[in-house]
Amino acid sequence: MLKTHKNIGITSRLIFLIVSGCSIIFVIILSFNYDYTKKILLQNAQDIAKNKAYREVNKIETVLKSIERVPTNSVFLINSFSFNKSDMLKLIRLLVERNDEIYGSTIAYQPYAYDKNKRYFSPYYYKKAVS
């Protein structure tokens, strides 16, 4: 009986050592996997954020480029032709109505440039808020 008791002690110690060794290896692999997965997830989150920011910048640039054409063409028209006040107001109104990206527009003159008796002249037209 003494022999079996000794064998159980050795068996228990051997099982304990094997389970402990496997547990340590498992913890090492698990922590490595956690760190690696964390790095990948952070990199993916950064890439997604960058791509989203680039998409939004491209949307804004597209709108701004289409809006840039309006003042360029307006300056050409205003410099090429002499407008009376009502024609100028019609021009501004048409610019705002026909360009969805534009909320309002104005033509601002230097002091006394449009009318020698008026210091400031800058007619403004804007879209009314839709309820």
* Residue 121, both tokens: 């002249």
Domain boundaries, the chain: 1-81, 82-131
Tokens 């760190």 belong to which residue? 35
How far is 102 from 127, CA to CA, in rounded Å? 9
DSSP state at residue 131: -
> Is residue 118 a contact partner of residue 111, using CB atoms and an 8 Å limit?
no
> From first to last of its 131 residues, what are the pLDDT tens digits of the chain?
445 555 678 888 889 999 999 999 999 999 999 999 999 999 999 999 999 999 999 999 988 888 888 777 777 777 777 777 888 888 888 888 888 888 888 888 889 888 888 899 888 989 887 65
d(CA 48, CA 55) in angstroms, rounded, equals 10
Global pTM exceeds 0.75: no
Tell me the two tokens of residue 51: 């791509």
Question: Helix, strand or coil for residue 57?
Answer: helix
Distances (CA, A) of 33 to 24, 26, 99, 118: 14, 10, 55, 76
Query: Alpha-carbon distance 31 to 46, whole Å?
Result: 22
